[in-house]
Structures are given as structure tokens and as C-alpha cells.
Structure 1
Amino acid sequence: MATIDSLTPPPPWTDTDWSAHVREAVIGGRRLRYLDYGDGPPLLLLHGLGCSWQWWLEMIPSLAREHRVIAVDLPGFGRSDALDPPALMNSHAEAMFALADELDLGPLVVAGHSMGGLITLAMAVERPERVRGVVLINAGGVPMTGLRLAIVVGVLRASQRFLAWNPVTRLLVTRTGARRLLLRGALKDPGSMRPELAAEVVPLMASPGFLDAITAASEAVRASRPEDVTCPVLLIWGAADPIVRLASARQMQERLADARLEVIPGIGHTPMVEAPAVTTDHLLSFTRDLDEGPA
């Protein structure tokens, strides 16, 4: 008997041979895997903890109509080699600048989800002349109490051990019900992750850089200074995020010099999977404004 998953039309991105656009660069003696797709002003996409470049797949075809999209497997994630411990967010940022130099990208718009937001902030603060705009999607770097941060770190460590178990991986790929049960923290409705996307991303989630990145990210959250970001910033937030709550996003907006916040109701921690069309519209509206300049 056919399942609901098997009756759902495949997403548009399944029509593209993505392997033809995946590249590897050697950065600091380590392999860095990335997707290079589309034409236009460069847009660098940085995924979150335990993720890979494929988490952006629902958005990439639309983004690539207006941008050269560089979607990276961050060091230690996906199929990229890991950094040496402690794999600080600043070290990730330097690797991204080295890749940008390798590709001769010039000034960038950088979009970061979750942990990728911490790296995005580090890039904007360390080399403001290289980053012309920042997009933070349910991102790290927002204020958290010590207790809440400790709880989040503990949950992430437990998740990594769980995801490293092969039977769990198989269930997440093949069963919508398993995704609904086990990905509740990352997605308000885990059933919104298509089976095609699950097959791409789930096998890569228990990545070697996961545990080192948890420690480095928690330290970066404590040290984050959004006030030092000088370029325009767009915050896109799923209102129902249980990890980085909307109240924290509003606090970050207040601390940023030039920021606007777009809230997506009923969406959790991962808008690019749960609401890719709305998230894409917000992001492209922001980059068009940057390209057009002041009225």
C-alpha cells in the first residue's frame, strides 16, 4: 500500500544533479566540501550544528536565480574535514574567509542558521569590509541564561549519541512518524521534512565535529557582542523555536545597530526546512535592498 510520503510530489530540487555543482577546496590542509550554484552577487550559506549544506536544498533553487550560492559543509560536518580542537567559531570564520579568497568572491552576504549564526557574527565583526550583509536564521549568539545554555548543551550532547546509532538513522530516513517523534526539538512539525530531504541530511547528522562544536559554540554565545556588527542584519525567526526563543531574537535586534526581524508564526528552529518559501522571500527581499542601496 502506498504511504502518504510516496504520494507526495517530489520537491523541485530533485530535478537537479547536485553532484555536478559540489566542489572541494583544501583550506589549511583540510578538505572543505561546498556547493557552488547559480550566478549573481555571492551568498554564503552556513548551516547549524550537526547539519550539512543539504539543509538549504529547499531554498537553493530560488536563491540561485539571483545569487551565486555557496553552501558549505562547515569543518567537521557533512563531508568536510574537522578543525583541530577546540574548533572555535573564529576558526570556522577564518576557514570561510579562506574559501571566499579561493573563489575570489569579494564582499559577501552571509546567512547563518543556528551555530552558523555564531560563525556569521564572527565574520561580520572580524572583517567588516568583507561582509556587506548578515542574515541570522534562528541563530546562535542571542542572550541566554547560564542555566538555559547548560540545558541546551546537555540536550545537544545526548542528541549526538542518539543520532550515531544506525537504527535511529534508518528510521529517520524512512519513517515520517520517526521524524515527528525524534526531531521535535529542531522542527515544530518534523513531518514537514520531506523524505527526499531526510535521505540527504540524516545520514550526515552524527558528524565528527559535533561534540567539539558544542563546547566552542557555548563559549561563543557567552562572548557574543552583536553591538560590534556594523552592516545591515536581517533576523528570520520561527516563532515556536524551543531552543532559541523569539524573546531572545528581539533582544538581539535591540543590540544590533541596523537590524530588522521577520517572524514566521507556527515555525520552529529550522525555517529553511519548515517554511522554505517564506524564508526565501524574506532573504531575497533583504538582499535586493542591499543591492539597490539607499533610496
Structure 2
Amino acid sequence: MTALIHVVNDGPPDAPPLLLIHGSGASGGFWAPMIPALAAHHRLIRVDLPGHGRSAIASSTGRPGNGRSAGAASYAVPHQADRLAETLDAIGTHRVSVATHSSGGYIATALATRRPGLISSLTLISCGPTMDAALPEPPILRLLLTPPAGPVVWKLRTSTLIRRGIAATCARPIDPPGHVVADLRRIRYRTLRQVLDSNTAYLTERGIPDRLAPLGLPIQAIFGDSDPRWDPASVQQYRAVPGARIDTLPGVGHIPMLEAPGETAGLLLAFTTAQRLA
């Protein structure tokens, strides 16, 4: 699709669908190391959320804009969930498993709340459950994202600086693919700041386990035990969701898709397979 949300499909068209949602500032490209394993079992739907990667910047009306008219409300978590629901409707997907990374879990939670029955199961990877689980940002991220220096540094960001920013959230050595770095260079500072503020507002209002608990949705929470962005022990908060499966990746930080793609794909596939057989 070339409208508001850019979509990439992988895997057999008749396989069970699996929607992949990235986190703040990222893109569908972050899932690339896991695609071969996942595509052997699923029809994959990778999206770039509004204003990220190859997707258009959202205007205050929720339609593609030129960036000058972009309104903060466009990036509110429920609004992003609505845009994603429209995309799934447009491609004829009415029941889908979902895997998310980081704040992508907030979009999926809002989607599950606003469109009951659309999501068949939900995997949350490195998704901070409540604001009290947040850890101090690594210094390089504060430099890139926090005013007054943030807007200036963001304009001057180089591939090296972006790679250092990604690495600061990881526990294992990584070499981010070039397309991932290119996607991060596309997002505008104003867009990213609006997204981050909207995520904070959503999580402050109500925690994710509390939102998911009454939905009766099969949930899997995967955390690296060395995540520098969220307290790794906070994954246990998802036990408040009846029947939730909790998985931990030893020696892994905030981006398991890049740090441990094989292990992460294995955990995800074990869960989606179990749900299909249930």
C-alpha cells in the first residue's frame, strides 16, 4: 500500500496471517532478521506506522499530509490503531495474530480494545507494561530525543550516530542492517516527539496488563533479561492477564529481533502454533 501505512507481505498467501508492528521511531524493517523463520509458517503483514519508514506523515485529519500540517492528535495511540484497522480492512484481513515490539504493543492493545475479534493472539516483545517500569534513557538517546538539544542533534544525525543509538538499547553486539538505519533517518523529529508523548500519555492513563486483562485474548510477553529501557522484572506484571505466557531471553536487551532473531522467532512460533492447535 502507498497510502498512510506502508505494508510489506512475506510468506505463503494462504498461510495463517501474522501482523508485525514495530516500536517508536523504528519500521517494519526491524523484523527482517526474523522473516525467513516466520514466513515458513505465516503470511506476514509488516507495517510502517504513520510517519515511520516509508509511511506518510499523518495530518490532523488522520490522512496523509506534508508534515507542515501534522497534528499531535494524529499520533495518539487510539488514532494509530484506527489507521491500522483501516489498513487491515483494506487488504481483507479480518482475523490475525499480532506480534509487536516495544510501544507497538500499545497500538495493538488499543486495536484489540477498539476492534474486538480482530486479533486472535498477541505477542508483546519488550513492551513496557507501566510507566513505573521505565528505566533512565541511555545518554545518547537523551541527546537525540530530548529538547533543547534533541531537535538540533536529530537534524545532524549520521548513520554512525543512529547505529550508536540502536546499540545503546541492546545487550548483545549487533550490526543494524543498512535499511534499518535508512528508515530511522527518514522520521522527522517532530513526528517522533509526538509519538513518544502520545505513548507516555496512553501508558500513564492505564497500564497494558490492566487494559488486556478483561479482553480474554491469548497473550505472550517476551523480554530480554538485560533490557536497558524497561526493568526486565516488569515482564512479570503481565501475569495479571489470565493465562499469559511469559518468556525471557538471557543476555538480550531491548531489541530481540536484532539481537536474538532465531531464539525470538522460536518463542513466537511456539506460541502461535499452540494457539492454532488449541
* Aligned match of 1:226: 212
Question: Which deviates more, 157-166 or 203-212?
Answer: 157-166
Question: Which deviates more, 242-251 or 267-276?
Answer: 242-251
Question: Which deviates more, 104-113 or 78-87?
Answer: 78-87
* Aligned match of 2:231: 245
* Aligned match of 1:44: 19
Read off the aligned partner of 1:213 and give its amino acid letter: V
1:258, 1:65 → 2: CA distance? 27
Counterpart secondary structure, 1:56: helix
Percent identity over the alignment? 30
Q: Deviations over 1:49-78 (max 9, x none)?
A: 110110000011211111110110000111
* Aligned match of 1:17: none
Gapped runs of 5+ residues in structure 1?
Answer: 1-22, 174-178
2:213, 2:224 → 1: CA distance? 23
1:216, 1:157 → 2: CA distance? 18
- Alignment partner of 1:170 is 2:159: yes
Indicate if the aligned counterparts of 2:134 and 2:230 stay in contact, CA closer than 8 A.
no
Indicate if the aligned counterparts of 1:100 and 1:106 stay in contact, CA closer than 8 A.
yes
Aligned mate of 2:168, from 170, 185, 207 = 185
Read off the aligned partner of 2:160 and give its amino acid letter: L
Aligned mate of 1:267, from 244, 248, 252 = 252
1:53, 1:292 → 2: CA distance? 28
Map 1:1-150 → 2, pairs under 5 A: 23-24=1-2, 26=3, 31-39=4-12, 40-83=15-58, 84=60, 85-86=72-73, 87-140=75-128, 142-145=129-132
1:279, 1:106 → 2: CA distance? 26
Gapped runs of 5+ residues in structure 2?
Answer: 61-71
Indicate if the aligned counterparts of 1:125 and 1:228 stay in contact, CA closer than 8 A.
no
Going from structure 1 to structure 2, the CA distance change for 1:270 and 1:163 (only over 3 Å counts) comes to farther
Going from structure 1 to structure 2, the CA distance change for 1:280 and 1:164 (only over 3 Å counts) comes to same
2:255, 2:135 → 1: CA distance? 21
Going from structure 1 to structure 2, the CA distance change for 1:249 and 1:155 (only over 3 Å counts) comes to farther
Counterpart secondary structure, 2:9: strand
* Aligned match of 2:182: 203
Instruction: Give the TM-score of the pair, scaled to structure 1.
Output: 0.78
Q: Give the deviation of 1:122 after TM superposition.
A: 1.2
Indicate if the aligned counterparts of 2:135 and 2:229 stay in contact, CA closer than 8 A.
no
* Aligned match of 1:13: none
